[in-house]
Structure 1
Amino acid sequence: MSYVAISTPLPRWQTLTGSVMSGLVIAFLIFDGAIKLVPIAPVTETMVALGYSGDPSLARGLGIMTLLIALLYAIPRTSVLGAILLTGLLGGAIATHLRVGSPLFTHMFFGVYLGLLAWGGLYLRSDLLRMLIPFRPSH
């Protein structure tokens, strides 16, 4: 089965809202990835508090991965792949916070909030994604 994207103009509010939501996700990912590239004390201390090694190369690897995911998410052609990879990254972060007993709404659910923002932004802007995941009113 093949899908043919039917290009219909989206309402301006929908495009703008989706773009702002996605922009916030991209900005967060760039910030998060960038601070992991530089071996600053808060990053190292947080990694150790979460049960990971204080080795700066681990943080750098996560930073590079986060920046690559941000790039994939930012490019329209690869944005769905970026969102899928971001979902995996956020799942790992949620599991880490669950394991160490972090506060529920501020730490563990932050990954859920960010994931909803990422997928919501794409959903508002993408006809194809709305075709693949249709939300229809019940009859």
Structure 2
Amino acid sequence: MNTSKMLWTGRIATGLFALFMLGASIAPKLLGMPVAEQTLAQLGWPPGYAFTIGLIELACLLLYLIPRTSMFGAVLMMSLLGGAMATQVRAESPLFSHVLFSLYLGLFMWGGLWLRDARLRKLFPINRKTAP
């Protein structure tokens, strides 16, 4: 694939990931929407944690979006998504729709970063075998 096409595909994937995180997760928590507290309560979290979790998510997302700190932000975001996955496991949520959703998001996030960052592609190359 052309490097320019990979870069733009990665930027679009990164933008979609960021928009999803802002709209579905971070904004409801930071704006104090009741749905955020209700959802966390259903998952077994005590009241009052939504805002703090939203700040942590926003910090991880900002680190991910800054090119110089993108890998560090991706590692932190994946750690956060792992915690969300553990919460879903503890709440005995459905496997493919709830528990693994954090994994799906993480793979999408890392895919966008892999496409837009040559350092990550060098670290994790995809080798193609060519026919002789």
Confirm or deny a common fold (TM above 0.5): yes
Q: What is the deviation of 1:126?
A: 1.1
With the length of structure 1 as denominator, give the TM-score of the two structures: 0.85
Question: 1:43-82 alignment to 2 at 5 Å?
Answer: 43-55=36-48, 58-82=49-73
**Aligned position for 2:78:** 87
**Aligned position for 1:107:** 98
Aligned equivalent of 1:22, options 2, 14, 18: 14
Q: What is the deviation of 1:25?
A: 1.3
- Aligned-partner Cα distance in 2 for 1:108–1:59: 19
Query: Structure 1 stretch 105-114 or stretch 90-99: which is displaced more?
Result: 105-114
SS of the residue aligned with 1:67?
helix
Q: What is the deviation of 1:39?
A: 2.5
- Aligned-partner Cα distance in 1 for 2:88–2:80: 13
Aligned-residue identity in percent: 41
**CA deviation vs aligned residue, 1:28-65 (integer Å, no higher than 9, x gap):** 2222112101322211111111010122xx11110111
Q: What is the deviation of 1:111?
A: 0.5
SS of the residue aligned with 1:63?
helix
- Aligned-partner Cα distance in 1 for 2:7–2:129: 25
- Aligned-partner Cα distance in 1 for 2:3–2:125: 18
CA contact (8 A) 1:26 1:73 kept: no
Question: How many residues matched?
Answer: 128
> What runs of 5+ residues in structure 1 fail to find an aligned partner?
1-9
What RMSD in Å do the two structures reach over aligned CA positions?
Answer: 1.5
> What runs of 5+ residues in structure 2 fail to find an aligned partner?
none
